[in-house]
Structure 1
């Protein structure tokens, strides 16, 4: 988390808020985004396939549908 924060802060007027919260990530992330009045949510994606995502759900998909701000989903690089 610290590495990501330092990368973002090196880009001028980007404000980064890092939080550690307890609860279902899907709900907590959307609640914190709304509470902060965030302009953008940047969230990673593991890139699991359709079947695994169907059983486990996807935090990034949930946030993309429910967050009260634009969401940028960053996919994991291919190995």
Structure 2
């Protein structure tokens, strides 16, 4: 399986993806990896997993575990 291309973003040390398609692909892979890990452990409670994509000020896309509701609630 070919890895998804990423680069370190200027806004932080996070992985940045050049386009939304690449970020969506990385999100799917990250979720699948966390789900496989949870299945091996035999419990899913407390497993934090990435659940959405956002675009930063540097025009790169990032993965985040924070829900959209929590993000908008924190901004108000």
TM-score when scaled to structure 1? Answer: 0.27
TM-score when scaled to structure 2? Answer: 0.28
Does 1 or 2 have the higher relative contact order (CA < 8 Å, sep 6+)? 1
